Amino acid sequence: MKNQSVLDALSQLSDSIKLTFQLISRLSKLSFQPGSTPLQGDGDVRIELSHDIRDALKHHDDTLDSLRQEIEDVVEFGTHSQRRRDSLKDRERARIAAQLARLDEDLKQYVHNDPSLHDYFTDKPYSARSQFRAAQLSSKRASEAAKQKEREILFASLQQPTETDSTSSTPDPLAARRPQPKQLTQDELLINASTDVTSALRRTHNLLTSELSRSRFAQETLDQSTAALADLGERYTDLDSLLSNSKNLLGTLVRSQKSDTWYLETAFYILVTTICWLVFRRLIYGPAWWFLWLPSKFLLLKPFYLLLAVFGITGGSSAAVTAVSSLSSTISTQPTIRLQPSASGDRPTFRRGMDQRPANAVPVGGGGAKAGKDGQPQDPSPAGSMSQSLGQMAEASREQTQPQGEESNEAKGHKEPQRRGDGTILQERGDIPRNPKKKMWEEDVEAPKHQMRKRDEL
């Protein structure tokens, strides 16, 4: 796009320079007839034409300098990119250089063909100015010659004999001048006027053409600037969207990093806690249980409990419990449920032969799991350990105290009353009838019913 605009500017500059050369040639060949210019001033046509040529030369100098700089930049850039000479841009650069050379040759040939413009187009900027100055001097000499000729005609008309007027003694110098030019040079004045109008129209046309080319160049530059600004705006828009997306991504990454850090720290603490628990459970808990708690329990607590049992501090009297329960039954007309331990404070007693199981009995539950081959409970402690020796000592002491307890119970000769868990004494039913609503299982009645139900189902 830039190369094409440079080519268009070169072609427009070539046309404008040719028109300027024509104006300079016309100014140098300008001729004036006597009476066509005022005697007290310069000719209007010559002054206007000089101003137009001066403005055109100034504009051409500025345009030529700017285009020459652009062409030099394009050509220099094209010489550095020798690897891509076959591309379209290199071809356009070569075309611009050829157009510039052709413009120089055309201008030189035009000057050569026109002897009046032979010294115009050179590398120095003052050659056109000198040619313009020469054309101005030539047109000025022609104007001065026309004025001189007009003065001579006027002076000759004053020397001719004139008729004296009775009313005026002084002759009128313009009376002989006015009709003679109109009668003698009427056609020439008409031709000069038409020529001036034509030249003015041509100058106007040239100025309009140059302004049009300038406006076209400005329009193209404006279009290029608009396209460049639009492209730049799109890039800035893409950059803004990229920055906003990057900001959102960074915010998401920061939040993810915080959550991941929290998860990792929590997992690390859980792992450390689990490792500490495993170390305590596998390496510290077992040895501490076996070597600290059990020895301290058997060496310190068991003797203390034995001393308390010997002195009767831990065992409670059953008589006190009986008295309290009887007192509560006498005070209240209706027995209230009280939560009291069902076992007495004394050590439980067993009759002989209670631990003897029948031959066909099968131990179940915890007892079955701990029973040995002969049905007796099996000691889970290892053989020869301290716990097993203490257990054997406790069994021996219990066997010694059990016969004494049985003898004391037989010596008392009376049966202790049965009590509920709340301490209420259970009395014998006697003559009190049973509850008729209470259902009892009668084997002789329910068994046939059950057999009949099975048969019906089959």
Q: What is the pTM of this model?
A: 0.32
Q: Is residue 267 part of a domain?
A: no
d(CA 185, CA 362) in angstroms, rounded, equals 166
Range of the domain at 37: 2-160+174-184
Return contacts of 146-151, CB within 8 angstroms, 24+ apart: 146/31, 146/32, 146/33, 146/34, 146/36, 146/37, 147/32, 147/34, 147/37, 147/39, 149/34, 150/34, 150/35, 150/37, 150/39, 151/39
Q: Is residue 137 part of a domain?
A: yes
Phi, psi (degrees; rounded to nearest 5) at 380: -75, -15
Q: Is residue 88 part of a domain?
A: yes
- What are residue 371's DSSP bridge partners? 377
State the pLDDT at residue 442.
Answer: 72
State the pLDDT at residue 402.
Answer: 64
Q: Is residue 33 part of a domain?
A: yes
Total number of domains in the chain:
1
Report mean pLDDT in 10-residue bins for the chain, 458 residues: 70 79 80 66 70 81 75 59 56 71 54 43 50 80 80 73 45 45 60 81 87 89 91 91 93 93 95 94 86 83 82 56 44 45 51 50 50 57 72 79 58 61 72 72 77 74
Q: Is residue 86 part of a domain?
A: yes
State the pLDDT at residue 269.
Answer: 96
DSSP state of 115: G
Output the domain CATH number for residue 63: 1.20.58
- What is the residue whose two structure tokens read 């001036």? 196
State the pLDDT at residue 54.
Answer: 83
Q: Is residue 427 helix, strand or coil?
A: coil
State the pLDDT at residue 101.
Answer: 63
Residues 122-134, buried b or exposed e (16+ Cβ, 10 A)? eeeeebbeebbeb
d(CA 28, CA 49) in angstroms, rounded, equals 11
State the pLDDT at residue 136.
Answer: 80
State the pLDDT at residue 13.
Answer: 78
Q: Is residue 422 part of a domain?
A: no
